[in-house]
Structure 1
Amino acid sequence: MSELLTLNNIYFTIEEKNILNNISLHFSNHERTSIQGKSGSGKSTLLKIMAAIHPISQGSIYLKGKNMKDIDYTDYRKSVSYVYQTPHLFGETVQDNLSFPSSIRDEVFNMEKAQSYLSDLGLDYLSFSQDINSLSGGEKQRVSLIRHLMYPPEMLLLDEVTASLDEESSEKIWQWILAQADRHDISLVWVSHKSEEQEMATRHIVIDQGRLVENGEIDHV
């Protein structure tokens, strides 16, 4: 597997407090990585650093050998995509969200693909004109996921994306995510407190008080 994302000696500081302390990690194509740790340990901050949502205080990040500072922000986010625990939708309708990735690429919205993905996640009853304010939290999360995968990124970062969903819905979403990752060779990195989701990983990372304390592949027997 080729190296996709490299973090070198990353620090993230707020008001003179180190939230992340000297984190160095390498991520390869098609990995499935679970990040674990206690609440407040820095897990979500690490994902946001990787997604270029938070600026690093010290250190460097490389995407396929190129310094993140030298990559256009929009281009970087096309390759490394972050899904929030609380879904971020915008505009007024379902279509406003699902068509956004094509609009920033100046391409035609693939309605057939979007409809297929809605059906995959049990949302075939939604119309493209549906008001996003009428959606439940679970529906918003699934629409958000579809938006991120209309154009598959090279790395998908998932921050507790099924925390508010029941077991059956969570399982269905993860089956779909893993299928998309296999189909499009996406490297997955996620934070989850659910043991069954941690067990899907081929590698796990443990963060404690902003420090990397464990990083290794998982031997599934």
Structure 2
Amino acid sequence: MKVLLVEDDGPLAQEIAGALRRENFAVDIAADGENGHHLGDTEAYDVAVLDLGLPKMPGAAVLRAWRKSGRQLPVLILTARDGWTEKVDGFKAGADDYLTKPFRIEELIMRLRALVRRAAGYAAPSVTCGPLSLDAPTGVFELDGLPLKLTALEWRVLQCLILRKDVVVDRLELMEKVYEGDAGTDSNSLEVIVARLRRKIGHDLIETVRGRGYRLASGGG
């Protein structure tokens, strides 16, 4: 799962990013509205956390510009403004959820996971694919009912695949969702991650579609 965090409070941004990375999220940080707008408009993200009170370009203007250009990524507004008017403005601009500072990091993480799950079309908290399951609120993968021990990169790849099960996920899209920054990482490293996952969950679940990418097949195994 890749998150765009647009927050001008440096220490808070680092605190949030650190907590998200410990939960296997990939995080890109933008410190002002202009940079946040550019990243959200040109890069692939699963979800965005957007402050309203940003320098150079207000958060609500960033969000309206994303929606006008057709960007559909879920957006959680994070702000110190707790008035009803500000909340209404945020939702009118296209926000999907709202958190007021101060807040608990744990709640932010749970809300982000829920936004990504719902955006993928899953209402239930658990997503299954054959013997594999993901408990979306906790981020825990299980195989045949037993917890899987995964690295952060393995978790990101598997999460992307299970939320798109039975659909071919393009190799470049996977790389964009797994690695922080741009997707210029050698594609061979993605193959290494997939190979490790196959050793952990079985070789039949993850299919390679030549010239395109990978598919998590619910009929596998």
Judge same fold: TM > 0.5, yes or no.
Answer: no
Q: Which has the higher strand share?
A: 1
TM-score w.r.t. the length of structure 2 is 0.30
Q: Which has the higher contact order (CA 8 A, sep 6+)?
A: 1
TM-score w.r.t. the length of structure 1 is 0.30
